[in-house]
Structure 1
């Protein structure tokens, strides 16, 4: 019996590193792939693996009921799809282009008004990870479409449907990236500090990993504190004491000659939170300042 995925026809628009990884992963699963890229050479490279090259976006979209988009930004997506409004009826458009929640909703609106089904997605992985379980993909939009094509989508990685609001996956994507960039920034700053003592980054990094793994164990508790606003519970280190200790970090940056522009905003938020009465609270209380909420000092 023919495999279900063998009968699936998918078009991939955009063959950057991620788009190429998407196409190659699906080709390995016997999916019939048509590709389009502004630079045709990137499409031709995939022909020996079984891909079909479309010479135009119109040809590419007409070739498949499922269209996966991986382009540089939503401006490019809109410039390619809006002129083809009349071709979208009953197509499933899976947009994996990175963007904002507003952009996702705007794109969803005009595509659905043309009769298309729409899924917006965020890929929380680098291209070599696609096809593995640790590649995380987030989707929002048409839950019916997601469920119908879940077998296809899971060939790319572990998939989660978030919400029928098309912008929700983009919001989750950006929120996760915020956490990632915070970690990366902190790591690079730690290396800048340690290298002042001529210590190799590769020697110090295992200790950073061990420390961060230990600290991530506190995130669940921090999340509970934020949801309940119970910042005075489970206080292992008072915020006012942490704020005082943070001065040592700033002073050392200055002594060594490391710019303090990345850490000063956090110092300001910590000080503001303390001044608003949360001196006896835990670090989670800084969330209220970050969010711009007026703090309730009854818990201090």
Structure 2
């Protein structure tokens, strides 16, 4: 994407705002410029955090394609449906961000964590029936179960963030 016009590519920059402002035009040649703060390490942290989210999305896609793999379902025909669903779910991050900022993980919850954990049993059975490993989803499912066991059943999945912080 870098260096390709209109690709939507951007590069994170952080550090001195004055240096960024002085060189923004040059910095924008390979792609858009996203200035993310005075701390020089923020550019790398933003990049790694977004790449981590991408790997989670790719893991989910790999699992989904594996589920349909034994059936007479074209991956080419399935892909647009999965993309549309992923796009519809992408807004979930706004709710997570709002809950993290407020500290109230039950604020505006549409799907309670306890219900999601129950649903995980259905996902696990379907995977077993299709001969698909749960190893991409199991770690997240285990964290969800742990959060419910600790009293977070009325929350969204936001509480899992706290379990990841060491």
- TM, length-normalised to structure 2: 0.91
Shift of 1:163: 2.2
1:215 aligned to 70, 89, 100, which one?
89
* Structure richer in strand, relative to its length: 1
* Structure richer in helix, relative to its length: 2
**1:205 and 1:192 mapped to 2: Cα distance?**
12
Partner of 2:118: 244
Shift of 1:159: 0.3
SS of the equivalent of 1:141 reads coil
**1:253 and 1:183 mapped to 2: Cα distance?**
18
Name the count of aligned residue pairs: 166
Partner of 1:286: 160
Which is further off, 166-175 or 130-139? Answer: 130-139
Within 5 A, what are the aligned runs for 1:186-205? 186-205=60-79
Asked if structure 1 preserves the Cα contact closer than 8 Å seen for 2:114 and 2:153, the reply is yes
Unaligned 5+ runs, structure 2? none
Unaligned 5+ runs, structure 1? 1-125, 293-300
Distance 1:282 1:242, change over 3 A: same
1:233 aligned to 71, 93, 107, which one?
107
Larger Rg: 1
Partner of 1:271: 145
Within 5 A, what are the aligned runs for 1:3-18? none
Higher relative contact order, chain-length normalized (CA < 8 Å, sep 6+)? 2
**1:283 and 1:168 mapped to 2: Cα distance?**
25
Which is further off, 248-257 or 168-177? Answer: 248-257
2:68 paired with 1:166: no
